[in-house]
Structure 1
Amino acid sequence: MQETPNIGKWLMVVGGALFVLGLIWWAAGRYLSFGKLPGDLIIKRDNFTFYFPLASSLLLSLLLSLVFWLMSRLR
């Protein structure tokens, strides 16, 4: 039976990436109101509220792209 090579290395990389992402999320939550950034669309009417987190989605996409790029570079 053949073992999967470098599974331990990948688990450590993924764990480290999640740790770093958690730190970034925690630090950003203290200084930025994630979900209430300028650029997030909020439309309030009498009994209707529409919320579209445009800027928050772009920021999250940028952070995830950075994490995946770093993961590919460490490979």
Structure 2
Amino acid sequence: MNAGHGPDLTAAEWTKSSFSGGDGGQCVEFSRTFARAGVVPVRDSKIPADGVLVFGLDGWSGFVAAVKRGELPG
């Protein structure tokens, strides 16, 4: 982790969400690299330099579960 500023993302290995279509639409990437530190960084794969959101593991797990259940508006 980076002294109070979140993880150093230069070591992140990014994975595109299976819910991101192959049509260039909604493209979300996340990194499991920091799971042991208790966080999951998330970014837009179309513009990765535009910023990253960092979720706690519980928040990320709840979000993924809600997506899989179809509980979020499309």
Give the structure-2-normalised TM-score.
0.27
Greater C-alpha radius of gyration: 1
Give the structure-1-normalised TM-score.
0.27
Q: Which has the higher contact order (CA 8 A, sep 6+)?
A: 1
Larger strand proportion, structure 1 or 2? 2
Larger helix proportion, structure 1 or 2? 1
